[in-house]
Amino acid sequence: MGKESITITNNATGASEEFPLLHPTHGPSVADIRTLYSKMGIFTYDPGFKSTASCKSKITFIDGEKGILLYRGYGIEELAEKSNYLEVCYLLLHGELPAKEEYDKFAGIITRHSMVHEGFKSFLAGFRRDAHPMAIMVGMVGALSAFYHDSLEIHNPKHQEISAHRLIAKITTIAAAAYKYSIGQPINYPDNKLGYAENFLHMMFSVPAEKYEVDPLHAKALDLILILHADHEQNASTSTVRLAGSSEANPFAAASAGVGALWGPAHGGANEAVLTMLEEIGDVKNIPKFIDKAKNKDDSFRLMGFGHRVYKNYDPRAKLIKKMSRDIIEKTDGNDPLLEIALRLEEIAMKDDYFVERKLFPNVDFYSGITYKAIRIPVNMFTVVFTMGRMVGWMAQWAEMIQDPKRVIGRPRQLYDGAATRSYIPMDKR
Ligand code: SDX
């Protein structure tokens, strides 16, 4: 095959085989090793998939070395400046920016799908009031398939589209309902006159006792946050959605699996963990102690909101959220001691060899919590907001997977290093 291939030689047996090299639009080439086991009787070993491409995708591209993020080829900075979340949803789902009539039709569909079946109220009432909202989200997203089974033929393109629309439209209603339930306030219905981000804030903060006006600054900040969280290649939760979906489970069940994966503090749960960490630091004078803890191999503590599997440069989303958090705090509370701590922490870490050598930069979660706090989102809802933004990415990736004519169920192999074959010993002989 020549230069468009790699050769793998097994030095133990002398066997040697060539495997094709596949070349991307952007990013590293990949060795197509799908026939490795059948040809050479060996597996690859890559826990955490640090060197493994799990699929082909046209949706999102990250250049981790340069800190570049593209949605369908468009830079995140341009989309953040010129687009809005629903337009980004259309782009991620359909691959192209919409013409005006396409956008208006899409936005209208999402708006009109935002109500949920009234049965959700009794479903919600089954949860403890003090349940973490993400626990409720895992349950409620999965339960959507118990209410919307009229569109679960996963190979039917119309059903694929309807389910994606329903999840994008209803995730805000479900999220706000989880919050209202946890604080014992009446659940609000969506208002079709409001924009997507505005409607969420209305459902979160409106009370029957008085008129609630959504602050346009808050709605704009939230819309930007949702754009920045919309998709991110094959991250842990997206890979979970793809794997769950590869068994032909319905998209609501696959999305529910994604919610569970996103919840972890190593992933989407980091935004909540950052706020907790900043509050624990409490004062800039305590920063060195926490930096030392993060560097101590005997301490499991990590600097939350720092580091990334792919970005070995500044996360472009963190740059945009850092600027937004400063803008919104200047225009609302004037200052936030937690932002001061975050800025100082970043400054110190960026000069520390431990972080510099490991290329550990602030990621999307480092400043997002401070912005959420400035627009009055409670800490235990931070990862829920991440879930809202990422739902469209999960649906775009799920659709790309389910529509792939060469799709197979995801089923990794392993390196077994357990007990060798042995015979059963009767209890009285042990
Ligand atoms: C998200 O994948 C995505 O795209 C995710 C995401 C998305 O949009 O979907 O971007 C969203 O999940 C962002 C990440 C949020 N998580 C955090 O902020 C939690 C803190 N970060 C770390 O847990 C960690 O950086 C990860 C999980 C994000 C990445 O882990 P990796 O790639 O497995 O890196 P690693 O554990 O191999 O770390 C390499 C070295 C290690 O030290 P050595 O063994 O080489 O001495 O860096 C160290 C790690 O101990 N390290 C850290 C650190 N992150 C890595 N040390 C202190 N603090 C940290 N935050």
- How far does residue 266's CA lie from ligand 1's centre (Å)? 7
308 is catalytic: yes
Q: Give the β-pairing of 74-75 and 68-71.
A: antiparallel
Distance between CA atoms of residues 171 and 190, nearest Å: 11
Q: How many residues does the chain have?
A: 430
Q: What's the pLDDT band for 3 if we cut at 50, 70, 90? A: low
Q: At 20, is the pLDDT very low, low, confident or very high (cuts 50, 70, 90)?
A: very high
Which residues are 69's β-sheet partners? 62
Give pLDDT, residue 50. Answer: 97
In the set 94, 215, 267, 327, the catalytic residue is 267
Which distant-in-sequence residues (6+ apart) come within 8 Å of 151 by Cβ?
A: 158, 159, 162, 163, 166
Instruction: Kindly indicate the confidence band of residue 149, based on its pLDDT and cuts at 50, 70 and 90.
Output: confident
Q: pLDDT tens-digit profile of 45-97?
A: 999 999 999 999 999 999 999 999 999 999 999 999 999 999 999 999 999 99
Catalytic residue chosen out of the listed positions 132, 218, 229, 308: 308
Q: What is the pLDDT of residue 211?
A: 85
Instruction: Find the mean pLDDT for residues 361-373.
Output: 94
pLDDT digits (tens, 9 = 90+) for 87-141: 999 999 999 999 999 999 999 999 999 999 999 999 999 999 999 999 999 999 9
Best mutation site among 229, 360, 366, 385 for ligand 1, i.e. most ligand atoms within 8 A of its Cβ? Answer: 360
pLDDT at 2 over 70: no
Do the Cβ atoms of 178 and 384 come closer than 8 Å? yes
pTM for this model (two decimals): 0.96
Q: How confident is the model at residue 333 (pLDDT cuts 50, 70, 90)?
A: confident
Q: What's the gap in Å between 309 CA and the centre of ligand 1?
A: 6
